[in-house]
Amino acid sequence: MPAPGAPADPRSVRLEYFPDQCDSVNANEACTLFRVVWQEAGPTDVTIRVYAVTSCLHTPTASKPSAECLVDGDSIPKASLLLLGSAPASDRSFLFVLGEGETAALGWLPGGGPDVDAVVLQAVNTYGGSQFAIAGSSGSCYGCTL
């Protein structure tokens, strides 16, 4: 539960992909440029933090053959959160790069970093932070191969 005075959850959150506009950080690694977009009800003095979620919280099984890695209401372990960066809420977007290739994840942090299974946002001010809003989540399926 957010602290009194903390900003509301970011709204209209989405993750956009721009695979043709990425300059690779490593000449031997393909990458994708991502932009996360949001709306903030009161952006004055509010910062948006953008986090990578580095673990898939839901595993598909034979009885439930597909699963999203992160869904609304999940509790994300702190050890699975990596800060990608932050921006003033009034910017309404943030750009970042992930490595790409054969993975069920959205990608990985450039330079061989951990897989990124989801991207979440949090609005923060001097009173505290909102709950996380999911910008994008990878999925996986039981018995699938890449």
Q: What is the pLDDT of residue 46?
A: 95
Residue range of the domain that includes 100: 11-141
Cα→Cα distances 107→44, 54, 85, 95, 135, Å: 32, 10, 17, 14, 14
The count of structural domains within the chain is: 1
Report if residue 4 sits inside a domain: no
pLDDT score, position 68: 86
Query: How far is residue 21's CA from residue 1's CA, in Å, rounded to a whole number?
Result: 38
CATH number at residue 95: 2.60.40.10
For residue 3, give every residue at least 6 positions away whose Cβ sits within 8 Å of its Cβ, in sequence order, or none. Answer: 127, 128, 129
pLDDT 10s per residue in the chain (146 long)? 678 889 999 999 999 998 777 776 566 778 889 999 999 878 889 999 999 999 988 877 777 777 888 999 999 999 999 999 999 999 999 999 998 888 888 999 988 889 999 999 999 999 999 999 999 998 876 666 55
- pTM of structure: 0.89
In a domain, 130, yes or no: yes
Q: Does 146 fall in a domain? A: no
Identify whether 5 is part of a domain.
Answer: no
**pLDDT of res. 111:** 81
Which two tokens mark 66? 């597909």
User: In terms of Cα–Cα distance, which of 14, 11, 13, 33 is closest to 24?
Assistant: 33
Residue 3 lies in a domain: no
Given this model, what pLDDT does residue 142 score? 63
